[in-house]
Structure 1
Amino acid sequence: MMYPGYDALAAGDAALAQAAALMRVNTTETWLRRHLAHVAAAVPDVLDDRGDDTEPLSDEAPVLP
């Protein structure tokens, strides 16, 4: 079995292929959230809400030339 989603597609089983894809997305998202939580815990909280050190955006619309 190479990849369950591929095998399901090759067999023409759309429902199983979709389920395999959803499981892959879920496990990848879970891994990424855990990884980012560890990174966030290791970095001092010195950034604004946007996640960078730039000035906050103004509520005013930009003036175009």
Structure 2
Amino acid sequence: MGLEEELLKCVHCGFCLESCPTYVVTRSEIHSPRGRITAVKLGLTSEGIETCMYCRRCELACPSGVVYSEI
């Protein structure tokens, strides 16, 4: 699946939030998988993208099956 398809799979449910170490510490949407996906969709770069730890815990929590490591 390509980047666009992965981005479209996110339904912004928020199940990924509590699984994300950077979101848990900062409580900032931009530091969450959902916030990072939104930033990529909008063509933005942000410090949130750079703080991803690539632990892929969000992938386990995602009911839509977003493969974050592909984004």
Q: Normalization by structure 1: what TM-score?
A: 0.26
Q: Normalization by structure 2: what TM-score?
A: 0.24
Structure with bigger gyration radius? 1
